[in-house]
DNA sequence: GCAAATTAATGATTTATTCAAG
DNA sequence: CTTGAATAAATCATTAATTTGC
């Protein structure tokens, strides 16, 4: 599966570029599906060129290049041949559930990073797996609850106070009650990546040291 | 297919409350997940400790400085330091629309990266903005179309073939018809750190208390 | 006992909906 | 009101547990 990267893109602060628009219209009357050829306008951005989009490094990479190592004594360890989906170990699930019970629902990127690092000790895992796990778990707990409440009508969904676990540098855990009824301020963001895209990280010794590859930040000024 | 068991390295039992999740059954309970092949000699997960979550230097996450941290947990959304949300310039919109008309709908990370780089020339922008733009534009074009089709009930554009622009490594552009109304091949994923986090400006602050609050949960239900 | 066939569980994506900035 | 941002719901896809036939 693809290679996943923790993107940490553009965070640099640029000066607000002298954008000469702002406030202007921004959306054209929907022109559903017209052939691009019929819309010569917009091209005012002359310098833009599709070609410039191409990076020398891009291009569809192959999966594990002819890995003939697939012999009989193939260990059951990792080996993401071409890319399979994450298959969590008991330990990983345990930790995740613990965190979930602790109140974590949508970890932000940093948290994901750390969780991933931890879980990586018990098996191969990537940040996105953690992210998805929380998404799915939350959603499925929700529907399970809904199903149950239907048949049981036990409304007390959460009699237990919701707590927030905070980790500080000393590793202490603090708990406090949730006070915000609704908050929408998650900072994690995700987007899909290439399909087959290499996974490359084949077998062998890439067990640890799995540094999150951060976005190949281009030397953009920041 | 080619792959079978993937990393089932260990199976230390980590019996925890079975209360939550797992065993989530719909109709008939399947046996709880057990990993048959096991590496019994694994260090128990008991070694897991929240403390280990704290990494001395999890990464130079820093963002635009300038944001004065309100408190450990801001009650409200963080005010973004430099600017709030992305405000696209005309050029940016133009390019994006061009790409959209060209057939691009859900660019992958690499494409996003490139697009972002390009658009960056015209104003501040981040990868996620590009991602969101396509998401939103697609969705909104769809609903507009739906609205219009209601009153017009015409489907002339159906005849127009949808083209997909593909960028290959050499920078060539290929077009082809879209053949599948539903295509699901993208995988991979990445996420990014958004604003906040930043905390003080330059380096150094990293040493001190790095508190990460594990996201609190809130009343679900909407 | 094994392995193909079934099916539940769940990882991974996409689509729809919602919230709020401007 | 428009639309960037974020989340939830729906869906697809793959894995693994279970069943079944030999």
Helix B127-152 / helix B109-119 crossing angle, nearest 10 deg: 100
**B100 close to B142: Cβ distance less than 8 angstroms:** no
The Å distance, CA of A152 to C1' of D14, is 33
Half-sphere exposure of B64 (CA within 13 A, CB side): 21
User: Which residues are B163's β-sheet partners?
Assistant: B177
The Å distance, CA of B58 to C1' of D16, is 35
Choose among B190, B200, B214: nearest CA to B69: B200
pLDDT band at B152 (very low <50, low <70, confident <90, very high): low
Q: Which of A6, A120, A122 to mutate to test the interface with B (most CBs of B within 10 A)?
A: A122
pLDDT at site A190:
43
CA–CA distance, B99 with B25 (Å, rounded to integer): 44
Residue B131, H or E segment? helix B127-152
- Per-residue pLDDT tens over the stretch B33-57: 334 333 333 333 333 333 333 333 3
User: Encoding tokens for residue B188?
Assistant: 């991979």
Choose among A206, A163, A183, A171: nearest CA to A64: A206
| Mean pLDDT, chain A, whole residue set | 51
Q: Which of A18, A48, A196, A215 to mutate to test the interface with B (most CBs of B within 10 A)?
A: A48
Distance from the Cα of A143 to chain B's closest Cα (Å) equals 11
Residue of B nearest to A218 (CA): B117
Distance from the Cα of B69 to chain A's closest Cα (Å) equals 15
- Is any Cβ of chain A less than 8 angstroms from the Cβ of B57? no
pLDDT band at A83 (very low <50, low <70, confident <90, very high): low
- Distance between start and end Cα atoms, chain B: 41
Chain A residues whose beta carbon lies within 8 Å of the beta carbon of residue B216: 103, 105, 162-164, 178, 180
- Is any Cβ of chain A less than 8 angstroms from the Cβ of B120? yes
The conformation of residue A214, written as its DSSP 8-state character, comes to B
Count the helix, strand and coil residues of chain B and give each as a percent rounded to the nearest 5.
30, 10, 60
Sheet containing strand B187-192, edge to edge, reads A5-7, B187-192, A189-193
Record: contact B120-A76, CB cut-off 8 A:
no
Residues of A (195-214) whose Cβ lies below 8 Å from B:
195-197, 212, 214
pTM for the whole structure: 0.44
CA–CA distance, A141 with A215 (Å, rounded to integer): 33
Q: Please provide the size of chain B in residues.
A: 222
| Cβ-based burial of B220 (10 A; exposed 0-12, middle 13-18, buried ≥19) | middle
- Per-residue pLDDT tens over the stretch A185-205: 433 444 333 333 333 333 333
Closest CB from A13, A44, A77 relative to B9: A77
Which residues make Cβ contacts (< 8 Å) with residue B25, sequence separation at least 6? none
- Answer whether residue B107 shows pLDDT above 90: no
Nearest-nucleotide field for B135 (CA, C1') = C15
CATH T-level fold of A87-149: Arc Repressor Mutant, subunit A (1.10.10)
| Mean pLDDT, chain B, whole residue set | 50
The torsion angle over the Cα atoms of residues B194, B198, B202 and B208, rounded to 10 degrees, is: -130
Domain ranges of chain A: 87-149
- Per-residue pLDDT tens over the stretch B1-16: 333 333 332 232 233 3
**B171 close to A54: Cβ distance less than 8 angstroms:** yes
- Answer whether residue B219 shows pLDDT above 50: no
pLDDT band at A139 (very low <50, low <70, confident <90, very high): very high
**A187 close to B196: Cβ distance less than 8 angstroms:** yes
Mean pLDDT of all residues in A91-114: 87
- Answer whether residue A35 shows pLDDT above 80: no
């Amino acid at each position: 599966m693809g290679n996943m990267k923790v993107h940490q893109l553009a965070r640099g602060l640029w000066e607000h570029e002298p954008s000469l628009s702002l406030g202007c219209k921004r959306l054209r009357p929907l022109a559903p599906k017209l052939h691009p050829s019929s819309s010569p306008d917009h091209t005012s951005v002359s310098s833009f060129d599709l070609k410039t989009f191409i990076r020398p490094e891009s291009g569809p990479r192959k999966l594990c290049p002819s890995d003939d190592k697939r012999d009989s004594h193939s260990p059951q360890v990792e080996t993401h041949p071409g890319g399979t989906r994450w298959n969590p170990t008991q330990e990983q699930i345990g930790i995740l559930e613990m965190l979930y019970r602790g109140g974590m629902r949508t970890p932000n990127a940093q948290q994901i990073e750390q969780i991933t690092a931890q879980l990586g000790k018990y098996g191969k895992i990537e940040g996105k797996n953690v992210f998805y796990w929380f998404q799915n778990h939350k959603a499925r707990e929700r529907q399970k609850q809904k199903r149950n409440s239907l048949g049981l009508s036990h409304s007390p969904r959460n009699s237990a106070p919701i707590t927030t676990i905070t980790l500080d540098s000393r590793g202490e855990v603090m708990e406090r009650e949730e006070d915000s009824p609704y908050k929408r301020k998650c900072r994690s963001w995700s987007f899909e990546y290439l399909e087959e895209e290499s996974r490359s990280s084949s077998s062998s010794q890439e067990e640890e040291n799995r540094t999150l590859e951060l976005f190949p930040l281009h030397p953009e000024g920041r």
